Amino acid sequence: MKRRTALALATAVGVALTGGLAAAEEYKVGVLLPFSGVYAGLGAHIENGFKLGLEHFGADLGDNTITTIRADTEANPGSTLAKSKKMVLQDKADVLVGIVSSAVLGGMRDFIHNSGTPLVVANAGNNDMTGVKCSPNIIRVSFSNAQINRPMGTWLAKQGKKKVYLMAPDYAAGHQMMEAFRKTFTEAGGEIIGEAYPPLQGTKDYGPYLTAAKATNPDAIYVFFAGGAAITFVKQYHGFGIGKDIPLYGAGFLTSAAYVHVQGEAADGTVASLHYVPAIDTPENKRFQEGYQAAYEGKLGSEFAVQGYDAARLIIEAIKASGGDKAAFKAALSKVSFSGPRGPLRIDPATNNVVQNIYVFKNEFKDGKIVQTVLDTATDVQDAPNGCAM
Ligand code: BEZ
Protein backbone atom coordinates (compact mmCIF):
# COMPACT_ATOMS: atom_id res chain seq x y z
CA MET A 1 0.00 0.00 0.00
CA LYS A 2 1.56 3.27 -1.11
CA ARG A 3 0.00 5.28 1.68
CA ARG A 4 2.56 8.06 1.84
CA THR A 5 2.28 8.81 -1.87
CA ALA A 6 -1.49 8.61 -1.74
CA LEU A 7 -1.67 11.00 1.21
CA ALA A 8 0.83 13.43 -0.28
CA LEU A 9 -1.26 13.53 -3.43
CA ALA A 10 -4.40 13.75 -1.32
CA THR A 11 -3.09 16.86 0.42
CA ALA A 12 -2.90 18.82 -2.82
CA VAL A 13 -6.42 17.72 -3.79
CA GLY A 14 -7.69 18.57 -0.30
CA VAL A 15 -6.74 22.24 -0.64
CA ALA A 16 -8.91 22.49 -3.71
CA LEU A 17 -11.77 20.67 -2.02
CA THR A 18 -11.80 22.86 1.06
CA GLY A 19 -11.11 26.11 -0.76
CA GLY A 20 -7.70 26.35 0.92
CA LEU A 21 -9.22 27.16 4.31
CA ALA A 22 -7.97 24.13 6.25
CA ALA A 23 -5.25 24.78 8.84
CA ALA A 24 -2.27 22.42 8.64
CA GLU A 25 -2.45 20.18 11.69
CA GLU A 26 -0.95 16.78 12.40
CA TYR A 27 -3.41 14.31 13.93
CA LYS A 28 -1.80 11.47 15.83
CA VAL A 29 -3.97 8.33 15.85
CA GLY A 30 -3.22 5.59 18.42
CA VAL A 31 -4.28 2.23 16.96
CA LEU A 32 -5.06 -0.34 19.69
CA LEU A 33 -5.83 -3.82 18.32
CA PRO A 34 -5.15 -7.47 19.18
CA PHE A 35 -2.22 -8.68 17.10
CA SER A 36 -1.86 -11.83 19.24
CA GLY A 37 -4.30 -14.20 21.02
CA VAL A 38 -7.75 -15.51 20.08
CA TYR A 39 -8.75 -12.29 18.24
CA ALA A 40 -5.44 -11.66 16.40
CA GLY A 41 -6.97 -12.25 12.94
CA LEU A 42 -9.67 -9.68 13.67
CA GLY A 43 -7.07 -7.08 14.59
CA ALA A 44 -5.25 -7.63 11.29
CA HIS A 45 -8.46 -7.15 9.27
CA ILE A 46 -9.37 -3.96 11.13
CA GLU A 47 -5.90 -2.52 10.62
CA ASN A 48 -5.91 -3.43 6.91
CA GLY A 49 -9.31 -1.75 6.50
CA PHE A 50 -8.12 1.34 8.41
CA LYS A 51 -5.13 1.73 6.06
CA LEU A 52 -7.38 1.36 3.02
CA GLY A 53 -9.77 3.97 4.44
CA LEU A 54 -6.86 6.43 4.82
CA GLU A 55 -5.98 5.83 1.15
CA HIS A 56 -9.53 6.14 -0.15
CA PHE A 57 -10.57 9.22 1.86
CA GLY A 58 -7.21 10.92 2.54
CA ALA A 59 -8.04 13.51 -0.13
CA ASP A 60 -10.52 15.04 2.32
CA LEU A 61 -7.77 15.90 4.82
CA GLY A 62 -6.87 19.21 3.21
CA ASP A 63 -3.47 20.38 4.48
CA ASN A 64 -3.84 18.23 7.57
CA THR A 65 -1.99 14.96 8.04
CA ILE A 66 -2.58 11.75 9.97
CA THR A 67 0.21 9.77 11.59
CA THR A 68 -0.39 6.46 13.36
CA ILE A 69 1.18 4.66 16.29
CA ARG A 70 0.08 1.12 17.20
CA ALA A 71 0.04 -1.31 20.13
CA ASP A 72 -1.10 -4.91 20.70
CA THR A 73 -4.08 -5.20 23.08
CA GLU A 74 -3.75 -9.04 23.22
CA ALA A 75 -7.42 -9.16 24.40
CA ASN A 76 -5.96 -8.19 27.81
CA PRO A 77 -7.77 -5.40 29.74
CA GLY A 78 -4.88 -4.69 32.15
CA SER A 79 -2.10 -4.26 29.60
CA THR A 80 -4.40 -2.33 27.21
CA LEU A 81 -5.20 0.21 29.92
CA ALA A 82 -1.46 0.79 30.44
CA LYS A 83 -0.89 1.10 26.67
CA SER A 84 -3.76 3.57 26.25
CA LYS A 85 -2.39 5.70 29.08
CA LYS A 86 1.01 5.78 27.36
CA MET A 87 -0.56 6.75 24.03
CA VAL A 88 -2.59 9.58 25.54
CA LEU A 89 -0.25 10.93 28.23
CA GLN A 90 3.19 10.31 26.75
CA ASP A 91 2.70 10.03 22.98
CA LYS A 92 0.00 12.75 23.00
CA ALA A 93 -2.36 10.92 20.64
CA ASP A 94 -5.27 13.10 19.45
CA VAL A 95 -7.59 10.12 19.08
CA LEU A 96 -7.46 6.39 19.81
CA VAL A 97 -9.02 3.81 17.50
CA GLY A 98 -9.61 0.06 17.68
CA ILE A 99 -10.45 -2.28 20.61
CA VAL A 100 -11.90 -5.66 19.72
CA SER A 101 -12.95 -7.20 23.05
CA SER A 102 -15.89 -5.94 25.10
CA ALA A 103 -13.92 -6.77 28.26
CA VAL A 104 -10.94 -4.66 27.12
CA LEU A 105 -13.23 -1.73 26.31
CA GLY A 106 -14.84 -2.01 29.75
CA GLY A 107 -11.39 -1.91 31.37
CA MET A 108 -10.35 1.38 29.75
CA ARG A 109 -13.72 3.18 29.90
CA ASP A 110 -13.05 5.33 32.98
CA PHE A 111 -9.62 6.40 31.77
CA ILE A 112 -10.99 7.44 28.37
CA HIS A 113 -13.96 9.20 29.96
CA ASN A 114 -11.70 11.27 32.22
CA SER A 115 -8.87 11.83 29.76
CA GLY A 116 -10.75 13.99 27.26
CA THR A 117 -9.17 12.07 24.38
CA PRO A 118 -11.74 10.45 22.08
CA LEU A 119 -11.81 6.73 21.33
CA VAL A 120 -13.34 5.54 18.06
CA VAL A 121 -14.41 1.95 18.78
CA ALA A 122 -13.85 -0.19 15.68
CA ASN A 123 -15.20 -3.47 17.05
CA ALA A 124 -15.98 -4.12 20.76
CA GLY A 125 -19.78 -4.22 21.09
CA ASN A 126 -20.06 -3.79 24.90
CA ASN A 127 -23.61 -2.37 25.30
CA ASP A 128 -22.78 -0.48 28.49
CA MET A 129 -20.15 1.72 26.78
CA THR A 130 -22.87 3.40 24.75
CA GLY A 131 -25.46 2.69 27.48
CA VAL A 132 -25.24 3.14 31.24
CA LYS A 133 -21.50 3.91 31.03
CA CYS A 134 -21.60 5.99 27.84
CA SER A 135 -19.21 8.90 27.46
CA PRO A 136 -18.85 11.85 25.07
CA ASN A 137 -15.34 10.48 24.48
CA ILE A 138 -16.48 7.03 23.28
CA ILE A 139 -17.81 6.96 19.71
CA ARG A 140 -18.64 3.57 18.23
CA VAL A 141 -18.53 2.98 14.48
CA SER A 142 -18.82 -0.84 14.65
CA PHE A 143 -21.99 -2.17 16.40
CA SER A 144 -23.41 -2.83 19.86
CA ASN A 145 -23.82 -6.44 20.98
CA ALA A 146 -27.58 -5.89 21.33
CA GLN A 147 -27.89 -4.31 17.87
CA ILE A 148 -26.59 -7.39 16.03
CA ASN A 149 -28.69 -9.94 17.94
CA ARG A 150 -32.07 -8.29 18.64
CA PRO A 151 -33.31 -8.56 15.03
CA MET A 152 -32.39 -12.26 14.96
CA GLY A 153 -34.67 -13.16 17.91
CA THR A 154 -37.72 -11.80 16.11
CA TRP A 155 -36.61 -13.27 12.78
CA LEU A 156 -36.00 -16.78 14.11
CA ALA A 157 -39.35 -16.86 15.92
CA LYS A 158 -41.00 -15.94 12.60
CA GLN A 159 -39.34 -18.98 10.99
CA GLY A 160 -41.36 -21.14 13.39
CA LYS A 161 -38.52 -22.04 15.77
CA LYS A 162 -39.95 -22.45 19.25
CA LYS A 163 -37.20 -23.97 21.46
CA VAL A 164 -33.65 -22.66 21.19
CA TYR A 165 -30.39 -23.52 23.02
CA LEU A 166 -27.82 -20.70 23.47
CA MET A 167 -24.03 -20.87 23.51
CA ALA A 168 -21.30 -18.17 23.67
CA PRO A 169 -17.92 -17.50 25.31
CA ASP A 170 -18.06 -16.66 28.99
CA TYR A 171 -17.35 -12.91 28.97
CA ALA A 172 -19.24 -9.63 28.52
CA ALA A 173 -19.82 -9.91 24.75
CA GLY A 174 -21.03 -13.52 24.95
CA HIS A 175 -23.56 -12.78 27.68
CA GLN A 176 -24.78 -9.49 26.17
CA MET A 177 -25.32 -11.02 22.73
CA MET A 178 -27.30 -13.95 24.15
CA GLU A 179 -29.40 -11.60 26.36
CA ALA A 180 -30.35 -9.48 23.34
CA PHE A 181 -31.43 -12.55 21.37
CA ARG A 182 -33.29 -13.98 24.38
CA LYS A 183 -35.29 -10.76 24.84
CA THR A 184 -36.72 -10.49 21.34
CA PHE A 185 -37.06 -14.26 20.86
CA THR A 186 -39.06 -14.79 24.06
CA GLU A 187 -41.13 -11.63 23.41
CA ALA A 188 -42.08 -13.26 20.10
CA GLY A 189 -43.21 -16.42 21.93
CA GLY A 190 -40.01 -18.52 21.77
CA GLU A 191 -38.47 -20.41 24.68
CA ILE A 192 -34.79 -20.75 25.70
CA ILE A 193 -34.43 -24.34 26.85
CA GLY A 194 -30.78 -24.31 27.90
CA GLU A 195 -27.51 -22.41 27.58
CA ALA A 196 -23.75 -22.82 28.02
CA TYR A 197 -20.82 -20.42 28.30
CA PRO A 198 -17.43 -22.07 27.62
CA PRO A 199 -14.26 -20.10 28.51
CA LEU A 200 -13.19 -17.55 25.84
CA GLN A 201 -9.51 -18.48 25.94
CA GLY A 202 -8.32 -22.04 25.59
CA THR A 203 -11.53 -23.97 24.77
CA LYS A 204 -10.31 -26.53 22.24
CA ASP A 205 -13.08 -29.11 22.57
CA TYR A 206 -16.73 -28.05 22.29
CA GLY A 207 -17.79 -31.73 22.30
CA PRO A 208 -19.16 -31.84 25.88
CA TYR A 209 -21.08 -28.58 25.34
CA LEU A 210 -22.54 -29.82 22.05
CA THR A 211 -23.56 -33.14 23.60
CA ALA A 212 -25.37 -31.31 26.42
CA ALA A 213 -27.09 -29.00 23.92
CA LYS A 214 -28.23 -31.87 21.69
CA ALA A 215 -29.68 -33.72 24.68
CA THR A 216 -32.24 -30.91 25.19
CA ASN A 217 -33.60 -31.57 21.66
CA PRO A 218 -33.89 -27.91 20.58
CA ASP A 219 -35.37 -26.66 17.29
CA ALA A 220 -32.17 -24.65 16.78
CA ILE A 221 -28.90 -23.65 18.46
CA TYR A 222 -28.08 -19.92 18.54
CA VAL A 223 -24.50 -18.85 19.25
CA PHE A 224 -21.88 -16.12 19.28
CA PHE A 225 -18.29 -17.10 18.56
CA ALA A 226 -15.64 -15.10 16.70
CA GLY A 227 -12.08 -15.52 15.41
CA GLY A 228 -10.26 -18.78 16.15
CA ALA A 229 -13.10 -19.92 18.47
CA ALA A 230 -15.64 -19.56 15.61
CA ILE A 231 -13.50 -21.64 13.25
CA THR A 232 -13.12 -24.43 15.84
CA PHE A 233 -16.79 -24.34 16.91
CA VAL A 234 -18.25 -24.51 13.38
CA LYS A 235 -15.88 -27.31 12.34
CA GLN A 236 -16.74 -29.37 15.43
CA TYR A 237 -20.48 -28.73 15.03
CA HIS A 238 -20.21 -30.13 11.52
CA GLY A 239 -17.75 -32.87 12.52
CA PHE A 240 -20.07 -34.24 15.23
CA GLY A 241 -22.91 -34.35 12.68
CA ILE A 242 -25.25 -32.20 14.83
CA GLY A 243 -26.11 -29.89 11.92
CA LYS A 244 -28.05 -32.71 10.23
CA ASP A 245 -30.69 -32.60 13.00
CA ILE A 246 -30.34 -29.17 14.58
CA PRO A 247 -29.79 -26.04 12.45
CA LEU A 248 -27.16 -23.54 13.57
CA TYR A 249 -27.88 -19.79 13.83
CA GLY A 250 -25.93 -16.96 15.34
CA ALA A 251 -24.36 -13.52 15.37
CA GLY A 252 -22.67 -13.39 11.97
CA PHE A 253 -19.11 -13.20 13.35
CA LEU A 254 -19.58 -16.98 13.47
CA THR A 255 -19.10 -17.24 9.70
CA SER A 256 -17.22 -14.00 9.03
CA ALA A 257 -15.84 -13.41 5.53
CA ALA A 258 -12.49 -13.19 7.37
CA TYR A 259 -12.45 -16.98 7.90
CA VAL A 260 -15.51 -18.67 6.36
CA HIS A 261 -13.20 -20.02 3.61
CA VAL A 262 -11.32 -21.90 6.35
CA GLN A 263 -14.58 -23.35 7.74
CA GLY A 264 -15.61 -24.33 4.19
CA GLU A 265 -18.33 -26.99 3.96
CA ALA A 266 -18.72 -26.99 7.76
CA ALA A 267 -20.42 -23.55 7.50
CA ASP A 268 -23.01 -24.79 4.96
CA GLY A 269 -26.57 -24.02 6.05
CA THR A 270 -25.66 -21.66 8.91
CA VAL A 271 -27.86 -18.53 9.02
CA ALA A 272 -26.66 -15.44 10.87
CA SER A 273 -27.05 -11.67 11.26
CA LEU A 274 -24.49 -8.92 10.86
CA HIS A 275 -24.05 -5.27 9.90
CA TYR A 276 -22.00 -6.18 6.81
CA VAL A 277 -21.96 -8.95 4.23
CA PRO A 278 -19.57 -8.84 1.23
CA ALA A 279 -22.53 -9.54 -1.13
CA ILE A 280 -23.99 -6.03 -0.61
CA ASP A 281 -24.44 -4.64 -4.13
CA THR A 282 -23.58 -0.92 -3.97
CA PRO A 283 -20.86 1.25 -5.58
CA GLU A 284 -19.39 1.97 -2.11
CA ASN A 285 -19.01 -1.74 -1.35
CA LYS A 286 -17.62 -2.47 -4.82
CA ARG A 287 -14.95 0.20 -4.33
CA PHE A 288 -14.11 -1.20 -0.87
CA GLN A 289 -13.93 -4.84 -1.99
CA GLU A 290 -11.92 -4.07 -5.11
CA GLY A 291 -9.47 -1.94 -3.15
CA TYR A 292 -9.19 -4.51 -0.35
CA GLN A 293 -8.67 -7.47 -2.63
CA ALA A 294 -6.09 -5.58 -4.72
CA ALA A 295 -4.13 -4.61 -1.60
CA TYR A 296 -4.43 -7.89 0.32
CA GLU A 297 -3.75 -10.81 -2.03
CA GLY A 298 -7.31 -11.24 -3.25
CA LYS A 299 -8.73 -11.76 0.27
CA LEU A 300 -12.37 -10.78 0.84
CA GLY A 301 -12.91 -7.69 2.97
CA SER A 302 -14.80 -8.73 6.13
CA GLU A 303 -17.00 -6.81 8.59
CA PHE A 304 -13.86 -6.26 10.67
CA ALA A 305 -12.08 -4.65 7.71
CA VAL A 306 -15.15 -2.47 7.03
CA GLN A 307 -15.11 -1.29 10.66
CA GLY A 308 -11.47 -0.18 10.26
CA TYR A 309 -12.24 1.42 6.89
CA ASP A 310 -15.23 3.35 8.27
CA ALA A 311 -13.26 4.36 11.39
CA ALA A 312 -10.63 5.97 9.15
CA ARG A 313 -13.35 7.73 7.15
CA LEU A 314 -15.11 8.91 10.33
CA ILE A 315 -11.87 10.48 11.62
CA ILE A 316 -11.12 12.08 8.24
CA GLU A 317 -14.68 13.44 7.90
CA ALA A 318 -14.46 14.91 11.42
CA ILE A 319 -11.12 16.58 10.61
CA LYS A 320 -12.66 17.99 7.44
CA ALA A 321 -15.82 19.18 9.23
CA SER A 322 -13.79 20.89 12.00
CA GLY A 323 -11.48 22.61 9.49
CA GLY A 324 -8.30 21.49 11.24
CA ASP A 325 -9.47 22.88 14.61
CA LYS A 326 -8.44 20.23 17.13
CA ALA A 327 -10.79 21.50 19.81
CA ALA A 328 -13.77 21.14 17.46
CA PHE A 329 -12.58 17.77 16.13
CA LYS A 330 -13.85 15.72 19.09
CA ALA A 331 -17.40 17.05 18.89
CA ALA A 332 -17.37 16.58 15.11
CA LEU A 333 -16.70 12.83 15.46
CA SER A 334 -20.21 12.08 16.73
CA LYS A 335 -21.90 14.15 14.02
CA VAL A 336 -20.54 12.25 11.04
CA SER A 337 -22.82 10.30 8.69
CA PHE A 338 -22.15 8.69 5.31
CA SER A 339 -22.94 5.71 3.09
CA GLY A 340 -20.15 3.16 3.17
CA PRO A 341 -19.68 -0.50 2.21
CA ARG A 342 -22.28 -1.64 4.78
CA GLY A 343 -24.90 0.95 3.68
CA PRO A 344 -26.00 4.19 5.39
CA LEU A 345 -24.38 4.89 8.72
CA ARG A 346 -24.77 7.65 11.31
CA ILE A 347 -23.82 8.18 14.94
CA ASP A 348 -26.76 8.38 17.37
CA PRO A 349 -26.23 11.62 19.40
CA ALA A 350 -28.12 10.07 22.35
CA THR A 351 -25.61 7.21 22.81
CA ASN A 352 -22.68 7.72 20.37
CA ASN A 353 -23.45 4.24 18.99
CA VAL A 354 -23.69 3.71 15.25
CA VAL A 355 -27.12 3.42 13.58
CA GLN A 356 -27.07 1.03 10.62
CA ASN A 357 -28.71 -1.85 8.74
CA ILE A 358 -28.55 -5.42 10.06
CA TYR A 359 -28.51 -8.19 7.45
CA VAL A 360 -29.73 -11.77 7.93
CA PHE A 361 -27.69 -13.99 5.60
CA LYS A 362 -27.26 -17.66 4.79
CA ASN A 363 -24.11 -19.64 4.01
CA GLU A 364 -24.29 -22.21 1.21
CA PHE A 365 -21.50 -24.47 0.05
CA LYS A 366 -21.53 -24.34 -3.78
CA ASP A 367 -18.83 -25.37 -6.25
CA GLY A 368 -16.27 -25.91 -3.51
CA LYS A 369 -16.77 -22.63 -1.67
CA ILE A 370 -19.16 -20.84 0.66
CA VAL A 371 -21.54 -18.32 -0.90
CA GLN A 372 -23.25 -15.81 1.43
CA THR A 373 -26.67 -14.45 0.41
CA VAL A 374 -28.74 -11.79 2.18
CA LEU A 375 -32.19 -13.13 3.17
CA ASP A 376 -33.56 -10.11 5.01
CA THR A 377 -32.55 -6.59 6.06
CA ALA A 378 -33.55 -4.68 9.19
CA THR A 379 -32.96 -1.04 8.24
CA ASP A 380 -31.69 1.82 10.39
CA VAL A 381 -31.31 -0.28 13.56
CA GLN A 382 -30.79 1.96 16.58
CA ASP A 383 -30.21 0.90 20.18
CA ALA A 384 -33.30 1.11 22.34
CA PRO A 385 -33.07 3.61 25.31
CA ASN A 386 -30.32 2.05 27.39
CA GLY A 387 -29.51 4.28 30.33
CA CYS A 388 -27.11 6.61 28.54
CA ALA A 389 -27.00 10.16 29.90
CA MET A 390 -24.35 12.01 27.89
C1 BEZ B 1 -16.55 -8.24 21.59
O2 BEZ B 1 -15.85 -8.68 22.52
O3 BEZ B 1 -17.28 -7.26 21.76
C4 BEZ B 1 -16.50 -8.89 20.26
C5 BEZ B 1 -15.39 -9.64 19.89
C6 BEZ B 1 -15.35 -10.24 18.64
C7 BEZ B 1 -16.40 -10.06 17.75
C8 BEZ B 1 -17.51 -9.33 18.12
C9 BEZ B 1 -17.56 -8.74 19.39
Tens-level pLDDT at each residue, the chain (390 residues): 333 333 333 333 233 334 344 458 999 999 999 999 889 999 999 999 999 999 999 998 989 999 999 999 998 999 999 999 999 999 999 999 999 999 999 999 999 999 999 999 999 999 999 999 999 999 999 999 999 999 999 999 999 999 999 999 999 999 999 999 999 999 999 999 999 999 998 899 999 999 999 999 999 999 999 999 999 999 999 999 999 999 999 999 999 999 999 999 999 999 999 999 999 999 999 999 999 999 999 999 999 999 999 999 999 999 999 998 999 999 999 999 999 999 999 999 999 999 999 999 999 999 999 999 999 999 999 998 899 998
103 and 71 part of one domain: yes
41 and 133 part of one domain: yes
12 and 99 part of one domain: yes
Q: How far is CA 359 from CA 203, 234, 241, 365, 384, in A?
A: 29, 20, 27, 19, 18
Q: What is the pTM of this model?
A: 0.94
Mutate to test the pocket of ligand 1, among 33, 76, 99, 102 (most ligand atoms within 8 A of CB): 102
Report the separation in Å between the CA atom of 99 and the middle of ligand 1, taken as the mean of its atom positions.
9
367 and 219 part of one domain: yes
Domain span holding position 249: 146-274+357-381
Q: Could you give the CA distance from residue 303 to residue 343 in angstroms, rounded to a whole number?
A: 12
Does 388 map to a domain?
no
Are the C-beta atoms of residues 276 and 303 closer than 8 Å to each other?
yes
Does 390 map to a domain?
no
Closest ligand 1 atom to the C-alpha of 100?
Answer: 5
**HSE-up of residue 198 (Cα within 13 Å, Cβ side):** 20
What pLDDT is recorded for position 19?
Answer: 38
Residues framing ligand 1 (Cβ under 6 A) = 39, 100-102, 123-126, 173, 226, 253
- Four-point Cα dihedral 321, 303, 144, 177, nearest 10: 180
Mutate to test the pocket of ligand 1, among 38, 42, 80, 100 (most ligand atoms within 8 A of CB): 100
255 and 286 part of one domain: no
Q: Which residue has its alpha carbon closest to ligand 1 atom 6?
A: 226
222 and 370 part of one domain: yes
Report the separation in Å between the CA atom of 102 and the middle of ligand 1, taken as the mean of its atom positions.
6
Q: Could you give the number of structural domains in the chain? A: 2
177 and 39 part of one domain: no
Report the separation in Å between the CA atom of 207 and the middle of ligand 1, taken as the mean of its atom positions.
23
Closest ligand 1 atom to the C-alpha of 253?
Answer: 7
123 and 224 part of one domain: no
Q: How far is CA 52 from CA 141, 223, 296, in A?
A: 16, 31, 10
Q: Which residue has its alpha carbon closest to ligand 1 atom 7?
A: 226
Does 389 map to a domain?
no
Report the separation in Å between the CA atom of 281 and the middle of ligand 1, taken as the mean of its atom positions.
26
**HSE-up of residue 245 (Cα within 13 Å, Cβ side):** 12
Closest ligand 1 atom to the C-alpha of 39?
Answer: 6
Phi, psi of 204 (to 5 degrees): -105, -25
Q: Could you give the CA distance from residue 389 to residue 332 in angstroms, rounded to a whole number?
A: 19
Does 387 map to a domain?
no
Closest ligand 1 atom to the C-alpha of 171?
Answer: 2
Closest ligand 1 atom to the C-alpha of 42?
Answer: 6
Closest ligand 1 atom to the C-alpha of 104?
Answer: 2
Closest ligand 1 atom to the C-alpha of 227?
Answer: 6
Mutate to test the pocket of ligand 1, among 253, 304, 307 (most ligand atoms within 8 A of CB): 253
Mutate to test the pocket of ligand 1, among 46, 74, 101 (most ligand atoms within 8 A of CB): 101
CATH assignment of the domain containing 57: 3.40.50.2300
